[in-house]
């Protein structure tokens, strides 16, 4: 039986990279910063859809969520997790997260706003739940075995 191929960081393709506490903290900080930018896109487009265009909560939320996810996915794959993972494969795994999250969050958003909750409060609360669960999912499921495998990570290793 042959050994699994070794990647440049010393991990085999079947193992999970081990990050130092400092690397984990920096990764979480980058995810947070990109999530803030995605959140601004989501909030801005949500406000445009719901208030300027008068669309229903669920439609405004859904379209704003798609814009946010595309933005966030692009930057987190390249800079936060520094992954060379196949884009369709990674996006497919992120899509599976949203197959569960989007309907649930749209449902609870609809229920809460119909019960009289402020739309913006519901949106911000939903975004916070999304932020935490998506980070954990991407870190431990999507990019679990491909962290620090792209050209950005290689250049960073060369500088050290």
Higher-pLDDT residue of 15 and 138 is 138
Q: What pLDDT score does 5 carry?
A: 42
Band (pLDDT 50/70/90 cuts) for residue 14 is low
- Rounded to whole angstroms, the Cα distance separating 41 from 49 reads 12
Other beta carbons within 10 angstroms of residue 106's beta carbon come to 17
Q: Give this prediction's pTM.
A: 0.79
Other beta carbons within 10 angstroms of residue 20's beta carbon come to 8
Q: What pLDDT score does 96 carry?
A: 97
User: Is the dihedral angle over the CA atoms 100, 149, 34, 51 positive or is it negative?
Assistant: negative
Band (pLDDT 50/70/90 cuts) for residue 160 is confident
- Please write the tens of the pLDDT for every residue from 79-135: 999 999 999 999 999 999 999 999 999 899 999 999 999 988 998 899 899 999 999
Number of residues that make up the chain:
160
Burial group, residue 123, by CB count within 10 angstroms (0-12, 13-18, 19+): buried
Higher-pLDDT residue of 13 and 113 is 113
Q: What pLDDT score does 12 carry?
A: 47
């Amino acid at each position: 039986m042959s050994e699994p191929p070794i990647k440049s960081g010393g991990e085999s393709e079947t193992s999970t990279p081990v990050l130092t506490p400092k690397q984990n903290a920096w990764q979480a900080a980058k995810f947070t910063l990109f999530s803030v930018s995605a959140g601004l896109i989501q909030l801005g487009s949500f406000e445009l859809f719901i208030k300027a265009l008068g669309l229903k909560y669920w439609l405004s939320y859904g379209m704003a969520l798609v814009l946010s996810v595309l933005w966030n996915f692009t930057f987190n794959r390249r800079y936060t997790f520094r992954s060379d993972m196949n884009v369709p494969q990674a996006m497919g795994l992120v899509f599976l997260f949203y197959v569960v999250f989007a309907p649930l969050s749209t449902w609870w958003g609809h229920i809460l706003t119909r019960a009289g909750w402020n739309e913006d409060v519901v949106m911000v609360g939903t975004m916070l739940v999304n932020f935490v669960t998506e980070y954990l999912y991407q870190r431990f499921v999507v990019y679990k075995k491909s962290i620090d495998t792209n050209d950005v990570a290689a250049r960073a290793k060369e500088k050290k």
